[in-house]
């Protein structure tokens, strides 16, 4: 997969808890009505979230520590579905769902294998759930 070039100063400087709380609020809509989810988030918020997908794992981990395991799985679901449903969200090995799953695994909080398999079946991103094998 080819990474998208982001001009200097053109990417998101950070991600914050209120942004992710809004993602949690629309996660239920993502599978059935991604257009309504996008409408609820708004165009600017979607742009900011999309550019935040280019942030590295080290920038996500401190924020992820503030969420429960259940909320983290919901966020992983949001970012997995966003990549499939929203134009221009092709993240590949940089999908935040990967950072989320690594955090859950490190803390011994992974969801059941069936839930992970079900989420994996919703995407063609071969890197989800744990990233590159190398």
Q: Is residue 68 part of a domain?
A: yes
Q: Is residue 90 part of a domain?
A: yes
pLDDT of the residue at 51: 92
- Average pLDDT of the chain is 89
Domain count for the chain, please give it. Answer: 1
For residues 40 and 2, the model is more confident at: 40
Q: Is residue 125 part of a domain?
A: no
11-25 residue pLDDT tens: 445 789 999 999 999
pLDDT of the residue at 11: 47
Question: What is the reported pTM?
Answer: 0.87
Q: Is residue 50 part of a domain?
A: yes
pLDDT of the residue at 15: 86
* Local confidence band at 7 (pLDDT 50, 70, 90 cut-offs): very low
Model confidence at 1: pLDDT above 80: no
d(CA 118, CA 46): 25
Range of the domain at 104: 17-120
- Give the C-alpha distances (Å, rounded to integers) separating 49 from 8, 39, 43, 86: 17, 14, 10, 11
3-state secondary structure the chain: CCCCCCCCCCCCCCCCHHHHHHHHHHHHHHCCCHHHHHHHHCHHHHHHHHHHCCCCHHHHHHHHCCCCHHHHHHHHHHHHHHHHHCCCCCCHHHCHHHHHHHHHHHCCCCCCHHHHHHHHCCCCCCCCCCCCCC
What contacts 31, CB < 8 A, 6 or more positions away?
A: 81, 122
pLDDT (average), residues 81-86: 95
Q: Is residue 6 part of a domain?
A: no
pLDDT of the residue at 2: 55
Model confidence at 4: pLDDT above 80: no
Q: Is residue 21 part of a domain?
A: yes
pLDDT of the residue at 9: 45
Lowest mean pLDDT among 5-9, 53-57, 124-128: 5-9
Q: Is residue 86 part of a domain?
A: yes
Q: Is residue 55 part of a domain?
A: yes
């Amino acid at each position: 997969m080819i990474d998208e070039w982001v001009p200097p100063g053109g990417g998101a400087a950070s991600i914050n808890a209120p942004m992710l709380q809004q993602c949690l609020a629309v996660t239920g809509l993502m599978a059935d009505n991604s257009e309504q989810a996008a409408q609820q988030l708004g165009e600017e918020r979607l742009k900011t979230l999309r550019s935040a997908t280019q942030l590295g794992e080290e920038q996500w981990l401190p924020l992820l520590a503030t969420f429960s395991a259940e909320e983290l799985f919901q966020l992983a679901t949001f970012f997995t579905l966003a990549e499939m449903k929203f134009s221009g969200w092709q993240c590949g090995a940089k999908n935040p769902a990967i950072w989320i799953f690594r955090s859950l695994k490190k803390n011994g909080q992974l969801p059941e294998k069936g839930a992970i398999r079900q989420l994996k079946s919703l995407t063609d991103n071969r890197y989800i759930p744990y990233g590159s094998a190398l």
